[in-house]
Chains A and B, each alone.
Chain A
């Protein structure tokens, strides 16, 4: 039941993403409202699915690749809805909702049965560690969407050929502000996620840091975002530079999250394609 619930949300995110795309092409307000409604319903079902699965499995169900991808989609939708509520950036939906759909759809193709928990994962640190990181990643995913919008908008303004993008996207100032907000929220989440992981590692593996591929790539990601945040605070890295770094940073996140698991086996390999 809960597995179906987790998989069926992909449909809501799909139609929601379509509605937001329809909005950005036609500027029909009703489509944006519909999109938001669909994402909201999807997220509620999704959350309910995870709660149900928690009780069935007896542990925080963010361990298999299926669960991780699905939870990523959930976190992205939640963060997006929070930003939409705060800033009314409906155009952002056309860039972020497809991302959420991509995660939930790829989860839907994986086997979703509940399996016995690997003994090393049986810890109170599991929910803390993974929720911090997944929500951090989701915030960076929103920054990624806003960064793409920024670059599109900037290109049009620099070329002075104002067309469809100029009419549809919010101002550069707002998009850059979203980038900054995302950094100030996402970076602490990422930092805390890595620290809690490190503490947990000292209990589980007997060492705070073992240079396992996942740890190395997390560090690379952390350094990238640290550089961006530092550059912004001190010498005013903003606009185009900040947007490009947000995109590079998100690619690093994707690699840390998926690439490492599939290509570079290590201590963190609890999640692979077979589950």
Chain B
């Protein structure tokens, strides 16, 4: 009986030294897929390789034996002794494999829960498999389903909704305080990796312009050029501050560069148009008491880290909902897999009766001897209409989905009653004629 098998390793089971040895660079995937398919009992295969994980998914005709085949293949392809791998590799079979892929593509198995890249990477892996014709109807359906599960998880839970990095948290807060950012001006005081990154995010979120200031004016000029903004002399900070809606500060100053009174003066000049101060400096640049002024919001680095912390906790909670979706979808996919087993049964059932029909028609015609074309036609159509009518009800009860009984039971019963040959039970005979649903380049980034 054929089973879906996944063998792989990820950031939790293997250190980077192992992951890099087993990684499949894009240009080797085609070759690897071909090698994989040459193995005994492996009819379909997909290889996913990212910096955090390597996963090989196959349809194995020999159930568990497939696991050994894939492990063997991984060791052989990369020239790594299998003993060095076995501690790092995990494997999943059947429903467990289905659950695993659904969780991976929904980013429930990622290092940063809910990160968006993994889905694109799974789509790429699927694209390669289509391109190199390594995929068949079962894995095709499997991966397509995994994409829709990932989409469901993203829309029905908030697992990927809130910011989990300082710079994204800054953008999120700015939007909630200032609304639309397109007419807002950012001011960058001092230089720091984190504040520059936040400035970049704010600009790509639509902020209109940027003012840059630094104790050394040349540095301000250089940075301003980089951001396509305006450099301002540090001594003139007070006069330019009123133009800024979002202030990112990270100077090395040992004391506050903006006291509460300074901010009060500016907000009065701005006629209370809100200001958002993001203080990334330690020691702090902006008097935290300024947060008490109406329409002024001051967040320091700890405040932002707390925001991220809360967001991560929320993602964790949402992940539980996502796991429930995955469980339900695994059950749904299992039903589809089972119904797949029905189709080959129907085909062999038809084939068996067809052989009987042909034999009996030939016998009848030879008994009639010199039969005219009309008689031949009558005999032939008599036989096929009897056949169709007799087969109608067993076939339709095979196709019927029932809740209290697995289709497998019905399939087994029909196979026994009609004494159908066993070798076609696993693979779907019409599989080869079904084209993959999608082309080669899916979801490339």
Which residue in A158, A171, A177, A239 is a CB contact (below 8 Å) of B175? A171
B31 within 8 A of A: no
Q: What is the minimal beta-carbon distance from A32 to any residue of chain B, in angstroms?
A: 15
Per-residue CB proximity of A153-185 to B under 8 Å, as 1/0? 100011011110011001111100100000000
Residues of chain B within 8 A (CB-CB) of A158 are 291-292, 297
Which residues of chain A are within 8 angstroms of B307 by Cβ–Cβ distance?
160, 162
Q: Given A237-B272, A239-B295, is A160 in contact with B303 using a C-beta cutoff of 8 Å?
A: yes
- CB atoms of A171 and B271 under 8 A apart: no
Residue contact A172 to B310, C-beta cutoff 8 Å:
no
Judged by a CB distance under 8 angstroms, whether A241 is at the interface is yes
Contacting residues, chain A, for B158 (C-beta < 8 A): 27, 167
Compute how far the CA of A236 lies from the CA of B291 in the bound complex, rounded to whole angstroms.
Answer: 19
Residue B438 at the A interface, CB < 8 A? no
| Contacts from A to B (Cβ < 8 Å) | 27, 153, 157-158, 160-163, 166-167, 170-174, 177, 235-241
Q: Is B168 in contact with chain A by the CB < 8 A criterion?
A: no
B177 beta carbon closer than 8 Å to chain A = yes
B13 at the interface (CB under 8 A from A): no
Name A153's closest neighbour in chain B (CB-CB): B176
Best-surrounded residue of B158, B162, B176, B294 (most CB of chain A within 10 A): B176
Contacts known (A240-B294, A241-B294); A162 close to B310, Cβ less than 8 A: yes
In the bound complex, what is the Cα–Cα distance between A166 and B270 (angstroms)?
A: 25
Contact partners of B401 in chain A: CB under 8 A: none
Chain B residues, Cβ within 8 Å of A157: 173, 176-177, 297
Contact B176 A166 (CB under 8 A): yes
CB–CB A238/B297 < 8 A: no
In whole angstroms, what is the CA distance A236 to B176 when docked?
A: 20
Known contacts A173-B180, A177-B179, A240-B295; 9 additional CB pairs below 8 A are: A27-B158, A157-B177, A158-B291, A160-B303, A162-B173, A162-B307, A238-B273, A238-B295, A239-B272
- Most chain B CB neighbours (cut-off 10 Å) among A162, A163, A238, A239: A162
Mark B259-279 against chain A: 1 for CB-CB distance below 8 A, else 0: 000000000001111100000
Whether A172 lies near B176 (C-beta < 8 A) is: yes
Task: Say whether B90 faces chain A, with CB atoms less than 8 Å apart.
Answer: no
A160 vs B310: C-alpha distance when bound (angstroms):
11
- Pull 9 A–B residue pairs with CB atoms less than 8 Å apart, ordered by A: A158-B291, A167-B162, A172-B274, A173-B179, A173-B180, A236-B270, A236-B271, A239-B295, A241-B294
B271 touches A235 (CB 8 A): yes
Closest beta carbon of chain A to B61's beta carbon, Å: 44
Closest residue of B by beta carbon distance from A160: B303
Contacts of A153 in B (CB 8 A): 176
CA–CA, A157 and B174, complex, Å: 11
- Contact A239–B274 (Cβ < 8 Å): yes
Cβ of B147 < 8 Å from any Cβ of A?
no
Residues from chain B with a CB closer than 8 A to the CB of A173 are 177-180, 274
Contact assessment for A160 and B299 in the assembled complex, using a CB-CB cutoff below 8 Å: yes
A173, A235, A237 — most chain B CB neighbours (10 Å): A173
A236→B180 contact, CB < 8 A = no
Q: Are B271 and A239 in contact (CB under 8 A)?
A: no
Of residues 282 through 299 on chain B, the ones whose CB sits less than 8 Å from some CB of chain A are: 291-292, 294-295, 297, 299
Q: CA separation between A162 and B173, bound complex, in Å?
A: 10
Known contacts A158-B291, A162-B310, A236-B273; decide if A174 and B179 are in contact (CB<8 Å).
Answer: yes
Complex CA–CA separation, A166 to B161 (angstroms):
13
Separation of A174 and B162 alpha carbons in the complex (Å): 20
- Least CB distance, B273 to chain A, in whole angstroms: 7
**Residue B388 at the chain A interface, CB threshold 8 Å:** no
CB distance from B318 to the nearest CB of A (A): 11
